[in-house]
Amino acid sequence: MIIKSVRLASFTLIEAVVAMIIVLACFWLSGMIYINLLRTDARGEKLRAFTETKRIAIESKQQRSYFDEEIMIDSALFVTKTIGTYRDNAELKVLHLETFNKTKRKLASYKQIIIAE
């Protein structure tokens, strides 16, 4: 009876370490992409809030609607507009807008001094 010695193909230790590093890099990269997507979503909400705040400020100045009010924007954003005097000057007013999301988290704030005519 003759016993043949057959060498089976197997990984060396270096090949196994290289494969583990490649898999680890893939997991790290996918984690970074996921975190970046989560941050981008929050930035989009803040950008929309700032855009709506600026739009309301422009409309308030054009229409000369200098009174306090609360504005709801498609049930996702809530804007509070307050008008106050600036340093006890009757001609100058402070337009202050704050924008919140559904969970009452402040997303944007806008303050401007205006001339009340």
pLDDT tens, residue order, the chain (117 aa): 677 777 666 768 888 889 999 999 999 999 999 888 777 766 778 888 899 999 999 998 899 888 899 989 888 889 999 998 888 888 898 999 999 988 888 999 999 998 877
Task: Say if 8 falls within a structural domain.
Answer: no
Q: Which amino acid is at 108?
A: A
Task: Say if 65 falls within a structural domain.
Answer: yes
Pairwise CA distance, residues 30 & 99, whole Å = 33
Pairwise CA distance, residues 115 & 112, whole Å = 10
Kindly state the tokens that stand for 66: 């200098």
Supply the pTM of this predicted model.
Answer: 0.62
Task: Say if 7 falls within a structural domain.
Answer: no
Which domain does 19 fall in, by range? 14-115
End-to-end CA distance of the chain: 112
Kindly state the tokens that stand for 105: 């988290």
Task: Say if 68 falls within a structural domain.
Answer: yes
How many domains does one find in the chain?
A: 1
pLDDT at site 54:
93
Task: Say if 6 falls within a structural domain.
Answer: no
pLDDT at site 115:
87
pLDDT at site 79:
92
Q: Is 71 helix (H, G, I), strand (E, B) or coil?
A: strand
